[in-house]
Chain A
């Protein structure tokens, strides 16, 4: 991309970051280190293919298929990779199950580690200083900012993602969904319920 392209922006101001990133991409491309078509593909993957709908289907299958759930909780990478209908997740995925006794929440205090293979890229709040700093010391306060108040007597377990293991929460199946199909159930599973900052939607 040449500097001449700027004249085609028809008066839109390019921010400092747009200019700096464009310059670095130009340099890395001209020197033969990156292929802009590969960059386009990477962006497309996360804008169109990979997102929390994948995790929602994994959770929904765990709700309807006890054998899949058992395998998921034992080794989530193996369970997802050997199940029909899922793209492979080749990192070290660990599924943790919410129960009436224990609510699980995932954080990365040191950076932004997140189970991208099943949830896509993390939202801004997950990567933000308030979440990273406070989730380990004041989880009830943080959860209340998501509108989530747990029943008294519920234990909270925080999983700080300090290595290349990645955590996904398997929330509890909502009451009133007996007989629902995997597809119907998946529509109830929110991103936040798989991070632990929310619960699945209730059936309408």
Chain B
């Protein structure tokens, strides 16, 4: 879902930011295991990073907001392995495997895991970029009910293209398993007053990374 609780930019009422001195990498062993499970299952290639995000964003808003960060990851992962037919609801309930697993193309080994690697998302461009640095653009006022990376606060807003990032996997289709559908990616910068009104501080600018389908010439 797009207009859901995860899309927080500009919301009020969450209170102060509270930095924790000497914060540990993980606050409990289970957090570390959830992080590792997410990475290891991601390495199977069965879903994309956006498929993973979508399963977290699709949590009911109250569940999303009530859960700690790694609990959200856990709930999303549990839903995803069931949705992909890797694990049965009965197995989740039993807390153990009741059937052999299906065959995967790739399973992360300890040796693989030593080399920390981050996937590439840039792709060859199917067509020339529509915009160039300096172009005025307006973000589209869209409200898809599926995954998108155009935040609500930056929809329908006038901005300027500052950089062209190349052509990247398009999250809106990749999340649905509907293909990488590579699109040009731009850095688009907005004046705070365009986003938040005339009362906003004129010395503040906010930029997003915007895929070409999110943009129209202005």
- A: residues with CB less than 8 A from B are 3, 15, 17-28, 30-35, 37-43, 45-47, 49-51, 87-92, 109-112, 116-117, 120-121, 123-125, 127-134, 136-137, 139-140, 142, 145-146, 153-165, 192, 197
Question: Can you give 18 A-B contacts (C-beta < 8 A)?
Answer: A23-B96, A28-B86, A34-B41, A37-B110, A38-B40, A45-B113, A46-B25, A92-B122, A117-B118, A124-B23, A125-B18, A132-B8, A133-B9, A137-B10, A155-B205, A163-B121, A164-B169, A165-B165
Taking beta carbons and an 8 Å cutoff, which residues of B are in contact with A? 6-12, 14-20, 23, 25-30, 32-37, 39-41, 44, 49, 53, 56, 65, 69, 71, 74, 77-78, 81, 86-87, 91-92, 95-97, 99-102, 104, 107-110, 112-114, 116-122, 149-151, 153-154, 165, 168-169, 171, 185, 187, 189, 192, 195-196, 200-201, 203-211
- Which among A91, A140, A161 is the interface contact of B201 at CB below 8 angstroms? A140
Contact of A156 with B204 at beta-carbon distance under 8 Å, contacts A31-B100, A37-B110, A162-B151 already known: yes
Residues of B within 8 A of A111 (CB): 6, 53, 56
In the complex formed, the residue of B with least CB distance to A107 is B9
B96 and A34 within 8 A (CB): no
Q: In the complex, what residues of B have CB within 8 A of residue A192's CB?
A: 19
Residues A21 and B33 in contact, CB atoms below 8 Å apart? yes
* Residues in chain B near residue A128, CB distance under 8 A: 14, 17-18, 69
- Are B36 and A157 interface neighbours, CB within 8 A? no
Chain B residues near A139 (CB-CB < 8 A): 204
Give Cα A161 to B110, complex, Å.
30
Q: Specify which chain A residues have a CB less than 8 angstroms from the CB of B120 in the assembled complex.
A: 90-92
Chain A: minimal CB distance from B151 (Å) = 5
Further pairs besides A43-B36, A110-B6, A160-B9: 12, Cβ < 8 Å:
A17-B30, A32-B104, A34-B40, A40-B36, A46-B25, A110-B151, A133-B11, A133-B12, A137-B195, A164-B49, A164-B169, A165-B185
| Docked complex Cα distance between A197 and B207 (Å) | 17
Contact B149 A130 (CB under 8 A): no
| A-side contacts of B7, CB under 8 Å | 109-110
Distance in Å: Cβ of A122 to nearest Cβ of chain B: 9
Q: Which of B74, B81, B209 contacts A17 (CB 8 A)?
A: B74
Shortest Cβ distance from A73 into chain B, in angstroms? Answer: 12
Are A92 and B121 neighbours in the complex by a CB distance under 8 Å?
Answer: yes
User: Bound complex: CA of A18 vs CA of B27, how far in Å?
Assistant: 12
* Chain A: minimal CB distance from B199 (Å): 11
A164 B168 Cβ-Cβ under 8 A: yes
Q: Within 8 Å CB of A121, what residues of B?
A: 25, 35
